[in-house]
Amino acid sequence: MFNEKISSLSGLIAATFTPMDDSGRLALGIVPTMVNQLIDEGVAGLYVCGGTGEGVSLTNAERKQTAEAFVKAANGRVPVFVQVGQNSLFAAQELAKHAAEIGADGISAITPTYFKPTSTTALIDSLKIITDGAPNLPFIYYHFPAKSGLPIDLSDFVEEAVGKLPSLYAVKFTDSKLHDLQAVLTATDGRIKVFFGTDEMLIGGLAAGASGGIGSTYNFAAPLYIKLIEAWKSGNLAEAQRLQALSVQMVRTFVPFGGIEGQKGMMGMVGLECGPARLPLNKLSAESIKQLQSNLQEIGFFDWARP
């Protein structure tokens, strides 16, 4: 069902940030520069309006504008997946339909997080409403139990979903339970791909069978992870472990400044000014950004994470 570009997709998929101005309004003018730099640095795809992109904090109109900007900027050079999950399933369906209309390569969705599906059947029925908006686009199910809070067995879900969701292509697996990742691959005999969503554990995800990763830190540290993947593929486990340790050190450095907030600050440091995060997230002060930059310099980030 899926074309070769999608079927063989592997490597790093950047979960993109949504550029905003100081007032929290969209500032999409930098998107072409962002996309060009990400492609130049080796990312294999883009994942738009996810958690990193503050999708749940955007209106549907803003999400459509953002998706259009990234699809246009990519211009077919790498696949673009649009995260369309919403508390309203029919609003999500509308976003899925729009993604198909603008030429996106696929869609993804996390399930509603206020009223949650409480059974595998309800989860699949909910996702069916969303995917009906774009039945011909590959669908990535966004598994993020820390945010969704779903009491669902993932392997049971994929076994049942394979027959009921024809467009199911992959799982974005944002969790530390690698045995669940392996269970997905086993339950579907590898027919469903897995992209790992915990950047600081990428080597573990690859070892468990993931095709690559979808993550936020690939926006500013793709060269580091590309070297990690190359080391892993060549069997140089010691080097892969060394590079992963640097990734952990980087994450531990920015997290005290806020996950999204700190990373948006880092985007400006690599020449891709994305502005602050939108409320209810915090806005980093100039002093905090300066301190973060100093902390990153101290660990050598700009030497080992950049080209």
pLDDT at 41: 97
Indicate yes or no: pTM above 0.95. Answer: yes
Catalytic residue (choose from 172, 193, 227, 264): 172
In a domain, 100, yes or no: yes
Residue 266 lies in a domain: no
Rounded distance between C-alpha atoms, residue 5 and residue 45, angstroms: 10
Could you list the residue range(s) of the whole structural domain that residue 123 is in?
4-240
Catalytic member of 47, 64, 141, 142 = 142
Tell me which H or E stretch contains 12: strand 11-15
Task: For residues 72 and 10, give the distance between their C-alpha atoms in angstroms, rounded to a whole number.
Answer: 22
Does the annotation mark 169 as catalytic? no
Reported as a single tens digit per residue, the pLDDT across 92-105 is 999 999 999 999 99
Residue pLDDT, tens place only, 96-135 = 999 999 999 999 999 898 999 989 999 999 999 999 999 9
Please tell me the distance from the alpha carbon of residue 35 to that of residue 73, in angstroms, as a whole number.
Answer: 6
13 lies in some domain: yes
End-to-end CA distance of the chain: 37
Q: Two tokens at 272?
A: 């891709």
In a domain, 292, yes or no: no
In this prediction, the residues of the chain whose per-residue pLDDT falls under 50 are none
CATH number at residue 61: 3.20.20.70
Total number of domains constituting the chain: 1
**H/E stretch holding 11:** strand 11-15
Residue 257 forms part of a structural domain: no
Identify whether 261 is part of a domain.
no
142: annotated active-site residue: yes
- Sequence-distant (6+) residues with CB within 8 A of 12 are 42, 43, 44, 45, 212, 213, 215, 218, 222, 225, 226, 229
